[in-house]
Structure 1
Amino acid sequence: MAFSEFEQKRYEKIVGQYIDARRPEPSARKDFDLGFRISGQSVEIFEIRPHFQDRSNIIETPVAKATYVRPKDTWSIFWMRADLKWHSYEPDSSVKTLDDVIKVIDKDEFCCFWG
């Protein structure tokens, strides 16, 4: 089940503020930027950059994903490994709020999200 309109707007605001704070200067955004999308019960954060061989081809590289588990009223946090599959982020695989998700991603204790 997708988020309600109210939830969608609230989550867009929370993640949007985080992304805005981390984005590079406007002059650098043609070479590197950050974005996010909300789809279904998940929020995904990704890097945006032109392909190194063909700058007209824009590539999105996943950074983090959080999925809301409604029956448990928690958020599950994932990171993408080299096998290009989402894996549960340990030790903080589940948190209570989207604000907590942002804190975990920002702290990036094991360098899984931001390198």
Structure 2
Amino acid sequence: MKVIDFTEQQIKDFVEHKRPKDKVVRDQLDIGYKYDGRSLEIQEIRPQWDDSSIIHQYPIAKATFVKSKKIWKLYWKRASGKWEPYTPMPEIKSIQEVLQAIGDDTHHCFWG
């Protein structure tokens, strides 16, 4: 019997909602994620500009669960490639709040 990870299900639902609906568009730009139970990375997926057989995954948001404090810490990636704490929400209590912050992107840190 498979155990359902409700956190991962919330992440899957979020990503599916953010993905382009059109298959043609998804071939040029898609959204994905990596999740290992403590760390989440939301990614933009694109083919290389001069060779569409090479696919790149560009991380745009990262969240880490701090078990001792029972909080999530959210990060955004600067153009320099350096991860920065998302200071408007230094400590987040649920994955739903993490996904809401990434989705709303009030400060234009994640989606540009």
Using structure 2 for the length normalisation, give the TM-score: 0.91
Any stretches of 5+ residues in structure 1 without a counterpart?
none
Q: Aligned pair 1:103/2:106, yes or no?
A: no
Work out which of the residue numbers 10, 30, 37 in structure 2 matches 1:14.
10
SS in 2 for 1:56: strand
Equivalent residues in 2 for 1:1-115, closer than 5 Å: 9-25=5-21, 26-39=23-36, 41-115=38-112
CA distance in 2, matches of 1:40, 1:97: 13
State the number of aligned residues.
110
CA distance in 2, matches of 1:11, 1:46: 17
CA distance in 2, matches of 1:53, 1:16: 30
Shift of 1:94: 1.6
What's the % identity of the aligned pairs?
36
Shift of 1:55: 1.0
CA distance in 2, matches of 1:29, 1:107: 21
